[in-house]
Amino acid sequence: MNEVAAIVVTYNRKELLKKCIKKLQNQTVPLDILVIDNGSTDGTAELFDNKEEFIRYFNTGSNLGGAGGFNYGMKKALALGYDFFWMMDDDTMPYDNALEELLVAKNELKEFGFLSSIAEWQDGSLCNMNIQRTSILNKNLDLGKKYNAVIMATFVSFFVSREMVEKYGFPIKDFIIWSDDLEYSRRISKDNPCYAVSMSRVVHEMKSNAKVGIENDSDDRLWRYKLVYRNEVFVFRREGIKGWIYLLLRMVYHSFKILLKTPQGKAKKIILIWKSFFDGIKFKPVIETEKEQKS
């Protein structure tokens, strides 16, 4: 068994998963791969027989969402005894030296809460949804610096030690999707220095790098925004006055964008935003810890 486990969460994206695994197998340093399948129905399970060395496949039995999948995967990795967890979605394609550079950072920095790779889109530009936050309001990274101090990062190449997981627990599965990584990374960074590692790169193979917002998204995707706004309120309400100012400005700004850009159904979307905002104020999800798992 290697000391690092790559935790890859997947759901009905077999071809992307195969490509991701190939990229992981091409890493310049050894690692194990834990595939966490959220109950795929596209034949993903048929790719694995748990006989291939260094790859372990786990089927959650149902779609737990990204948050539930990472929660499940980290528990498995902890129980199996890995020292470091490298977390990613199935559309994350690491450069061959991505893990090597994270391990270099681990050895040079010595003390850190988490490390995060730089995520590019398919054309080489920064992937907009994966730029780490350097403060509550800023995402400014100096890629000329080897390491940038950050407070929030996504699970598109997120590196954390067993020690941190034992201390801070697991991602909140009740989030289902979106912002579970922001909450988890911030949970750690409040007490520990954390870094974006400029030399560690991955490609986030999304279909588009354009920012999609509720104002121009289709009605069949609105359920996602209920979770987005609710979860973000939980994340940022814990930041005190700055967090509340950020949230209120964000809600007002998004409401105005709907008024200006949404051709029809404006009221429906604005009501959704503010209902989700108040849902977030009342939201009290369970934060599971390693200690609770043993009790």
Taking only the tens place, the pLDDT of each residue in 60-91 is 999 999 999 999 999 999 999 999 999 999 99
Helix ranges, 41-198 (H): 65-80, 98-109, 162-168, 180-189
- Binned at pLDDT 50, 70 and 90, residue 289 comes out as confident
> Rg of the Cα trace of the chain?
19
**Predicted pLDDT of residue 295:** 43
**Predicted pLDDT of residue 74:** 97
- ∠ Cα 129 130 135 (to 5°): 100
- Binned at pLDDT 50, 70 and 90, residue 51 comes out as low
Q: What pairs with residue 203 in β-bridges?
A: 93, 120
> Are β-strands 195-204 and 92-94 bridged in parallel, bridged antiparallel, or unpaired?
antiparallel
CB 234 within 8 A of CB 280: yes
Predicted confidence (pLDDT) per residue in 10-50, tens digit = 999 999 999 999 999 999 999 999 999 999 999 999 988 76
**Predicted pLDDT of residue 53:** 78
**Range 285-293 average pLDDT:** 76
> Are β-strands 195-204 and 147-149 bridged in parallel, bridged antiparallel, or unpaired?
antiparallel
Rounded Cα–Cα distance for residues 279 and 161 (Å) = 33
Predicted confidence (pLDDT) per residue in 128-148, tens digit = 999 999 998 899 888 999 999
- Binned at pLDDT 50, 70 and 90, residue 218 comes out as confident
* Amino acid in the structure at residue 154: T
Rounded Cα–Cα distance for residues 8 and 25 (Å) = 13
- Binned at pLDDT 50, 70 and 90, residue 292 comes out as low
Average pLDDT, rounded, for the chain:
93
